[in-house]
Structure 1
């Protein structure tokens, strides 16, 4: 019998209980009702091996989800960009733009770095840290310095840690032929089209309409799948993030917003505004801040001269004192420390390992760590984002995007960018096989870089 992951009420409820407790909601009576009815409280069972549910249990889960939605949280979040912006008091003034040739090189590097970083992490998505290390050591390829391969992998290791099913056929070094389809690239492609159609003052409604028109529902996951369902169920884009959505602080919004930084080089506030407008369709609280931070990272990467400059500028797009702000600071400080890589990753897991592997908080700490420790070296930063064993392709994509924007395509190893074959596969209609060159030109056309030619 077919089961739709990230959507069944009995699978959502254990995740919602975790999220509601984080928000300080008083739900223990509801939890007791679920437990007494025989429902599982283990979020790990959701998605991969969902529990079998009777009609009665599913009905109860649906009712409890609605009751938890209605329970008040300890804190309310700002609901307009003006209110959000008022909390971000230290965003710097827009930075001076590089000349047109350098900006072209950097945007090309950002697109290529995002694709190559994602591709690097795809085969081991869902494999935990110890499995990734065991695979590489069994092949005498530890530490990680290249794309993954199945060559010389002992059968028993491969059986114990199987490659990601969808990615093994197109993301191992022996079968890479361009950038394969991935949600980490689908969203920047889709948002580029939204910007071209609706302009810089696009709305959350524009994002919602683009999803329903061009984004296959089966290629959405976690919070995006829930928001998509809510849109189809008649909820407004402003409501979609808040209805039976336990994934509202997970990483989905963070992976969608690079393009808003790329079209706003050095302009942290404008990049963050656009990211917030997009992210509010599916996310709240730290999920939203992850999106504004990612856009700020990519905006800063196109004008900064160091990873510290990128991290410092981007941190201003996150409310001070938030859980995400603390995680980013922890990761960046750890990255700049003398702590050996393995012990540093131990520290990340000790501090944030209780989060789901696709949550925003732990992955943002990891991304900050990898960027800080990379010193702008793609082959240093991306592997660190991958071997930690959380959201390997998404973390790799963001780190690759930032380093690509900082160094430009001319500063990225051709071994990794060449494997992309200058094309990206996608499930978006009319865009499959689009060239990276084309994406760079379209991105530049949206960048308000006044009189670039006069700076040549």
Structure 2
């Protein structure tokens, strides 16, 4: 389970190791992140390699063999050195809300009155898209296609199934073992737990508890009070660790956190949009305060982009209005903004989805499968390509690979909100059984209709 890069188990043999926190495992990810940000880490790489450190980042978050105490200490020293390096040009990639907000429009040409059916559709769409992507999380794009082709189900048009899957294909591309027992078509009995839904629930509780003017410190406290540490990964796990060490936001996002521009904050912010219908600016401000606990720059841009999409989707008349609203809150000179805009144009330009994804992989295939920029580009392309249709959109984005449950959830939330619950296909919605499992206290077994009613109450209160 995870849209933010949950481990799918430890090494094949030997004891499992905790992931996402050991200095020797964080450092290779930091070297990659720093290079992507334009920092010169040549000296750090040389020192680490000379000491016998592994330069290539572990895919699953933890290397197979623990480091020696000496190597672990060196990794901590080099992480400190990396943290001290200058970041990207703040003129293009600002890291404070005031600078980002200075580029926003002063007026919003969107309706501000939202209907319960549209919010219900947003919740259902988020769950449907997430559920579709869960069993193939971590399986690469070509593996997903092989699974579907081997069962005569390409192109994707329904939940994944193990029925008819040849044994050799199943062995080559094993399902996400945490998700498959509850997310394959033959096993679905309600919406299983996933962090893409847990964080939406947590945002709802933050708003209900602290109100629309909540702070980053309130979000941090909500994590400690209501979010089990074992249900967070990558940047969120590092930030959680930093909270327990006594740091406060935004420093929790910046100390020894190579995942600061990954997808984690982008999956947390739909509710801030749904409760600010027609106001992408207010939604983005709330999303930034949430994101600041664990992410910086592009990691936060993904959060405000999705929040702005979510503010528009339940009130807009079409997908272009929604995408315009999302882009309106982004720093115009950032790489994230360029990636989203290019991907949108690609998605709108042809009905050949595979050629669109080919181009996205040429542009962003070097990034980790849960980085924010590649996944946001895939989301933008799928939304433009899908033209507001839930099935066309979520099947496109999930078949594109990378962080399949998170991108499916975001695309499903937007298209579900455009359609409303009454406009969603029964074949996608019925397996949910109006039931969501969660380890967030007080939410296990909650119905999507109840969540929509609570969201509407907050939206009316904000209005």
Same structural fold, with TM-score higher than 0.5 when normalized by the shorter chain: yes
- 2:56 maps to what in 1? 42
- 1:54 maps to what in 2? 68
- 2:118 maps to what in 1? 106
3-state DSSP class of the match of 2:54?
coil
Aligned-partner Cα distance in 1 for 2:332–2:343: 15
Which of 78, 83, 86 aligns to 2:102? It is: 86
Map 1:105-144 to 2 at 5 A.
105-144=117-156
Aligned-partner Cα distance in 2 for 1:5–1:242: 18
Map 1:126-205 to 2 at 5 A.
126-205=138-217
Q: Which structure 1 segments of 5+ residues have no match?
A: 452-456
Alpha-carbon distance, 1:2 to partner = 3.4
**Superimposed CA distance per residue, residues 335-363 of structure 1 (whole angstroms, 9 cap, x where no aligned partner):** 11125111111111111111110011000
Q: Is the 8 A contact 2:383 2:411 kept in 1?
A: yes
Q: Structure 1 residues 153, 321: CA separation in 2 closer, same or farther (over 3 Å shift)?
A: same
3-state DSSP class of the match of 1:40?
coil
Alpha-carbon distance, 1:433 to partner = 0.7
Q: Is the 8 A contact 1:11 1:45 kept in 2?
A: no
- 2:372 maps to what in 1? 360
**Superimposed CA distance per residue, residues 369-391 of structure 1 (whole angstroms, 9 cap, x where no aligned partner):** 11001111111000111011100
Comparing 426-435 and 19-28, the one that deviates more: 19-28
Indicate whether 1:223 and 2:198 are aligned. no
Aligned-partner Cα distance in 1 for 2:62–2:21: 12
3-state DSSP class of the match of 2:101?
helix
**Superimposed CA distance per residue, residues 269-298 of structure 1 (whole angstroms, 9 cap, x where no aligned partner):** 000000001001100011000000000011
Alpha-carbon distance, 1:317 to partner = 1.1
Q: Structure 1 residues 48, 125: CA separation in 2 closer, same or farther (over 3 Å shift)?
A: farther
Root mean square deviation of aligned Cα = 1.5
Q: Is the 8 A contact 2:275 2:462 kept in 1?
A: no
Aligned-partner Cα distance in 2 for 1:4–1:266: 42
Comparing 170-179 and 425-434, the one that deviates more: 425-434
Q: Structure 1 residues 44, 350: CA separation in 2 closer, same or farther (over 3 Å shift)?
A: farther
Which of 344, 351, 356 aligns to 1:344? It is: 356
- 2:270 maps to what in 1? 258
3-state DSSP class of the match of 2:102?
helix
Q: Structure 1 residues 376, 91: CA separation in 2 closer, same or farther (over 3 Å shift)?
A: farther
**Superimposed CA distance per residue, residues 222-253 of structure 1 (whole angstroms, 9 cap, x where no aligned partner):** 10000000000111122100000000000000
- 2:407 maps to what in 1? 395
Q: Which structure 2 segments of 5+ residues have no match?
A: 1-14
TM-score where L is the length of structure 2: 0.94
- 1:454 maps to what in 2? none
3-state DSSP class of the match of 1:165?
coil
Alpha-carbon distance, 1:450 to partner = 8.4
Alpha-carbon distance, 1:26 to partner = 3.0
Comparing 195-204 and 297-306, the one that deviates more: 297-306
Alpha-carbon distance, 1:79 to partner = 5.4
**Superimposed CA distance per residue, residues 176-211 of structure 1 (whole angstroms, 9 cap, x where no aligned partner):** 011000000000101100100100000000000000
- 1:96 maps to what in 2? 111
Q: Is the 8 A contact 2:94 2:297 kept in 1?
A: no
Aligned-partner Cα distance in 1 for 2:443–2:327: 33
- 2:6 maps to what in 1? none
Aligned-partner Cα distance in 1 for 2:88–2:316: 38
- 2:78 maps to what in 1? 64
Aligned-partner Cα distance in 1 for 2:216–2:448: 26
Aligned-partner Cα distance in 1 for 2:388–2:69: 54
Which of 453, 457, 463 aligns to 1:441? It is: 453
Q: Structure 1 residues 234, 375: CA separation in 2 closer, same or farther (over 3 Å shift)?
A: same
3-state DSSP class of the match of 1:41?
coil
Q: Is the 8 A contact 1:124 1:163 kept in 2?
A: yes
Q: Structure 1 residues 15, 338: CA separation in 2 closer, same or farther (over 3 Å shift)?
A: same
TM-score where L is the length of structure 1: 0.95
Q: Is the 8 A contact 1:257 1:275 kept in 2?
A: yes
Alpha-carbon distance, 1:92 to partner = 4.0
Q: Is the 8 A contact 1:261 1:271 kept in 2?
A: yes
Aligned-partner Cα distance in 2 for 1:177–1:46: 29
3-state DSSP class of the match of 1:13?
helix
Aligned-partner Cα distance in 2 for 1:120–1:435: 19
